[in-house]
Chain A
Amino acid sequence: MASGAPAKRVDAVRALRDAGVTALLTFGLFLPLIGFQTVTDVRNDLILNTRWPLLFAVVALVGFSRLAYSFAIEPWLQNRALKPAVEPAAWRGKVARWIIPFAIGFVVAYPAIVLATAGFGRAVKWIDNFGIQVLIYVMLGWGLNIVVGLAGLLDLGYVAFYAVGAYSYALLAKTFGFSFWILLPLAGTLASFWGILLGFPVLRLRGDYLAIVTLAFGEIIRIVLINWVDLTNGYAGITSIPRPTFFGIPFNADDDGFAAVFGLEYSPIYRTIFLYYLILALAFLTAFVTMRLRRLPVGRAWEALREDEIACRSLGINTTNTKLTAFAMGAMFAGFAGSFFAARQGFISPDSFTFLESATILSIVVLGGMGSQIGVAIAAVVMIGGTEIMRELDFLKLVFGSTFDPTQYRMLLFGLAMVLIMIWRPRGLITTRQPSVVLKERKAIASDLVKEGHG
């Protein structure tokens, strides 16, 4: 550092001891996990293998990482804390101004780009697995952002509303044959109805208690879906759910199908592209509605509620209703996403609505920066897109052998990403908060002013 106090010297003895203790702990932890392995041989007998080299490699890796942390990362973090906050460079303002129009242009043009680069045959996979999958999570992240990011209500059972939306569409479409366009708003309405239903008993709760109740609610919905076999077909799920049509024109190879009507050769890609734009429109709808709501009294009341509930009440805000609207609004978008999910998959089962899904959506919101829509979108692209990319890393099989499956390491990488984010940006990727009202010019609120670990 050029000015101020000189950086503290690293205490080598302390660092070494620290690394030693870490390595010892690692050894204790991984001895049963990695050190011993049981396999069954051809006669079905258990054989105990030991894997000392692997165990010691892991222990050494962790020990040296800890040493590197003490010598390099820790001083860097301390120096960073000492340094006065610098004005962001001029180019960052320019980038920030162009990044959103560019991103919107990119996602709109994405199917065309994929078609041009990957060709007709492989494009389906890239648009479906990558584009649609990511956009579903962007939409879910934006929906949960209303509840967690704006209203500050920690919801661990968000996937329940997603499930309600999906099953609403699947059951009503199969039983009554209603079209997707009628059932989409209906699924959203039903989901927000369940949001209100959950909201009523938990209104008095906040923070940890609310988190536990919503977690339980998510599980209740899933377990009901599993056990109410007459209605939901249990674990087996619901198959052959009607697919959405292009304003009445189905995507099939028939004479009145989409391809025939528009004089094209039949290909499944038209449906995929249609679905892509459908979820894109739904995601934009979510973002747009949230942006508008933030400037309305109800949206401001959400944010005020996150800040101070007692002050809200003393200003004449009905906190009960405000929480309910946040829950209902978040649930509605989950319902939309759910009905889209059911229509896209054509098959749903309770397996799609586990707690892991809630956790993924919540971590997208937290990693992205609570309340920030751009941050949430980036986090969704990285987390969900990253997982999908991992399936493509076939060259790793050459390195680690043919049985190596990179997606198995997904959770490990999630954890690593989360640790790194918490070191590097403890308040999430994008932490500036745009004021919802200004007199003259708009000014973002710097990240170090935003309270840490608080909704």
Chain B
Amino acid sequence: MTTPLLTVRSVKTFYGRVMALKGVDLDVNEGEIVTLIGANGAGKSTLMMTVCGNPRAREGMIDFAGQNITRMPTHEIARLKLAQSPEGRRIFSRMTVLENLQMGATTADPSHFKRDLDRVLTLFPRLQQRISQRGGTLSGGEQQMLAIARALMAQPRLLLLDEPSLGLAPLVVRQIFDAIKTLNAEDGLTVFLVEQNAYHALKLAHRGYVMVNGFITMSGTGHELLERPEIKSAYLEGGRH
């Protein structure tokens, strides 16, 4: 394996005086699906936001595609083709689905717009039906699809997904995870997925990390982690659906 696409080295992030990440190391290789699981408040989303430069890491180093992005402003990180579907979806609710997708393509090569649009609409046929509808009128699952599709319009090398299954019906969760799998298998997209839904995430991912209280406590392939008794008891029992 060559150098990883994303490298996180002993990153510490603070909210005021509270340390949220206490020295995190993590790698995402090209072509992989990597998942980060953990309980509420473990610092999963903080890590994802720190990769995007908001909040910024106080210590440590983050490398993306051979470039040090630790001190870069968020919009410049996004221009390196690191796309994010943020927590809470954050779609533009007064703008139509098509306009949302167009906003996603802000940093992309405009000549590929039509092709990319067709791609995401085949991936999420529901968005095709809703194309001229206002973003805010979509259901939760559709909004999540839109958030992912919008991120994909930027032609990313790495897609960061923050809790895509949050608050969605099991059937919709399956659709979204299937789409992520397709993207990885067919387009070779690298995905870094933060999830609470540990069972699904670990089944999908090539590798996984477990975060507890701002530390990475365990890592391994998805299968290995699924078999670990401590993971089973902490994250899987009763959580399977």
Whether B94 contacts A315 by the Cβ 8 Å rule is no
A405 at the interface (CB under 8 A from B): no
**Chain A nearest Cβ from B136, distance in angstroms:** 6
Determine the distance from Cα of A445 to Cα of B74 in the docked complex, in whole angstroms: 31
Whether B92 contacts A303 by the Cβ 8 Å rule is yes
A-B interface, 3 closest residue pairs, ranked by CB to CB distance from nearest: A316-B78, A316-B107, A307-B92
Determine the distance from Cα of A316 to Cα of B93 in the docked complex, in whole angstroms: 19
- Chain A, interface size category, equals 20 to 34
Q: Which residues of A contact B91 (CB under 8 A)?
A: 308, 311
Contact status of A317 and B75, CB under 8 A, knowing A297-B106, A449-B137: yes
A313 at the interface (CB under 8 A from B): yes
Which of B75, B92, B132 contacts A316 (CB under 8 A)? B75
Q: Which residues of A contact B95 (CB under 8 A)?
A: 300, 303-304, 307, 435
The 27 sampled A-B contact pairs (Cβ below 8 Å) are A300-B102, A301-B103, A304-B95, A306-B94, A307-B93, A308-B92, A310-B54, A312-B103, A314-B52, A314-B74, A314-B86, A314-B90, A315-B78, A315-B83, A315-B150, A316-B76, A317-B75, A435-B95, A435-B99, A437-B102, A438-B96, A438-B98, A438-B132, A439-B98, A439-B131, A439-B132, A449-B134
A65 at the interface (CB under 8 A from B): no
Contact status of A301 and B54, CB under 8 A, knowing A310-B90, A313-B75, A439-B131: no
B79 at the interface (CB under 8 A from A): yes
Whether A437 contacts B107 by the Cβ 8 Å rule is no
A443 at the interface (CB under 8 A from B): yes
- The A-B contact count (CB < 8 A) is 96
Q: Which residues of B contact A314 (CB under 8 A)?
A: 52, 74, 78, 83-84, 86, 90
Q: Which residues of B contact A301 (CB under 8 A)?
A: 103, 106
B193 at the interface (CB under 8 A from A): no
B154 at the interface (CB under 8 A from A): yes
Q: Which residues of A contact B214 (CB under 8 A)?
A: none
Chain A residues near B (Cβ < 8 Å): 297, 300-301, 303-304, 306-308, 310-319, 433, 435-441, 443, 445, 449-451
Number of interface residues of B (CB under 8 A): 33
Q: Which residues of A contact B92 (CB under 8 A)?
A: 303-304, 307-308, 311
Q: Which residues of B contact A436 (CB under 8 A)?
A: 99
Whether B98 contacts A315 by the Cβ 8 Å rule is no
Of the listed residues A437, A443, A451, the one surrounded by the most CB atoms of chain B closer than 10 A to its CB is: A437
Add 20 more A-B contacts to A315-B75, A316-B78, A437-B98 (CB < 8 A). A300-B99, A300-B103, A304-B92, A307-B92, A308-B91, A312-B103, A313-B74, A313-B75, A314-B74, A315-B78, A315-B83, A315-B150, A316-B75, A317-B103, A319-B75, A433-B94, A435-B98, A439-B132, A441-B132, A445-B96
Q: Which residues of A contact B222 (CB under 8 A)?
A: none
Chain B residues near A (Cβ < 8 Å): 52, 54, 73-76, 78-79, 83-84, 86, 90-96, 98-99, 102-104, 106-107, 131-132, 134, 136-137, 150-151, 154
Whether B90 contacts A313 by the Cβ 8 Å rule is no
Which of B54, B73, B107, B134 contacts A315 (CB under 8 A)? B107
Whether B106 contacts A316 by the Cβ 8 Å rule is yes
Whether B104 contacts A315 by the Cβ 8 Å rule is yes
Whether A315 contacts B154 by the Cβ 8 Å rule is yes
Q: Which residues of A contact B132 (CB under 8 A)?
A: 435, 438-441, 443
Q: Which residues of B contact A450 (CB under 8 A)?
A: 94
Of the listed residues A312, A314, A319, A443, the one surrounded by the most CB atoms of chain B closer than 10 A to its CB is: A314
Determine the distance from Cα of A450 to Cα of B94 in the docked complex, in whole angstroms: 6
Whether A316 contacts B94 by the Cβ 8 Å rule is no
Determine the distance from Cα of A301 to Cα of B95 in the docked complex, in whole angstroms: 11
Determine the distance from Cα of A304 to Cα of B75 in the docked complex, in whole angstroms: 14
Q: Which residues of A contact B106 (CB under 8 A)?
A: 297, 301, 315-317
